[in-house]
Amino acid sequence: MTQPEPRPPHAGPPLVRTERHGRVLVVRMCREQKRNAVDRQLADALDEAFNLLEDDPELWAGVLTGSGGVFSAGSDLASLGDYTTERGGEYGLIRRRRRKPLIAAVEGPALGGGLELVLACDLVVAATTARFGLPEVRLGLVATCAGLFRGPRALPVNLARELILTGDPIDAVRGHAAGLVNRLTEEGGALAEALALAERICANAPTAVQESLAAVDRWLSAADDLGWQATRDATDAVLASQDHQEGIAAFLEKRPPRWTGR
């Protein structure tokens, strides 16, 4: 059997920084020059961090955050979809089976896959600078990392449709009013508030917390197979269209797209 080629190690500063705060692991995306867009290397680094969270019995909760005033701009288009990991699926998180609570601490944009990372978390703390959106349709794409079914699960259906069909983002205040955001803070305060929320969770019995989370997730994910199949069907149809090619070309050429509906 042919063995896969080993991936070259990432050179330069770490793409993900982890910090222990007692029982809480903070996972910080640090690809600031690309607005924390996820490529192969960042996905692998996130996967490693979430493996640590799940496997270390001394850690009882996690916080995912960004850097440089940005949570995440989603997928790096140059990665061509190469950001899937063995345990976590896309971005090291999207399909991960977790038992420990994970809180998203959002400052600035969480767009496309960035919002899908947020939707993969259990709780959300956001600063007033946060923006949440699924802009894929502007590029002739669809949200492929569970946004098409986790969005309507986390938000009122009509608001989820608005995000999906217009590509326009909503701000943190509207996200809080709609129930997506658990705690709203001033600029720069999301991480501290997320840590406080995580520590509140860690004051409880870890087995009870983990079993409760697993039970909720088991119920919520009962229709996920249908959601993933519907997403694959939509993705296949879009990838076969001329508009998909036009959307990518227009983005790279920094011009308005010329849609044909074909």
Q: Report mean pLDDT in 10-residue bins for the chain, 262 residues.
A: 42 90 98 96 98 98 97 92 95 97 98 98 98 96 97 98 98 98 98 98 98 97 97 96 91 92 92
What is the model's pLDDT at position 183? Answer: 98
Q: What is the pLDDT of residue 2?
A: 31
Q: How far apart are CA 19 and CA 52, in angstroms?
A: 11
Alpha-helical segments (H) within the chain: 40-55, 113-119, 147-154, 157-166, 172-178, 190-202, 206-220, 224-239, 242-253
pLDDT of residue 81: 85
Q: Name which of 117, 108, 162, 143 is nearest 16 in CA terms.
A: 117
Is the residue at 195 inside a domain?
yes
Instruction: Say how far apart CA 80 and CA 94 lie, in whole Å.
Output: 17
Residue 179 domain-assigned?
Answer: yes
Number of folded domains that form the chain: 1
For residue 86, tell me if it sits in a domain: yes
What is the structure's pLDDT at 7? 47
Q: Is residue 9 part of a domain?
A: no
Among the listed residues 140, 89, 136, 131, the one whose alpha carbon sits nearest the alpha carbon of residue 108:
131
CATH of residue 173? 3.90.226.10
Q: What is the pTM of this model?
A: 0.94
Q: What is the model's pLDDT at position 77?
A: 85
Identify whether 186 is a catalytic site residue: no
Is 3 a member of any domain?
no
Catalytic residue among 54, 90, 116, 136: 136
CA 46, 50, 52: angle at the middle one, nearest 5?
120
Give a yes or no: residue 224 inside a domain.
yes
> What is the per-residue pLDDT for 37?
97
Residue 260 lies inside a defined structural domain of this protein: no
Asked whether residue 4 is assigned to any structural domain, the reply reads no
The DSSP call for residue 56 is -
pLDDT of 171: 98
**Residue ranges making up the domain that contains 63:** 16-253
What pLDDT, on the 0 to 100 scale, is given for residue 78? Answer: 85
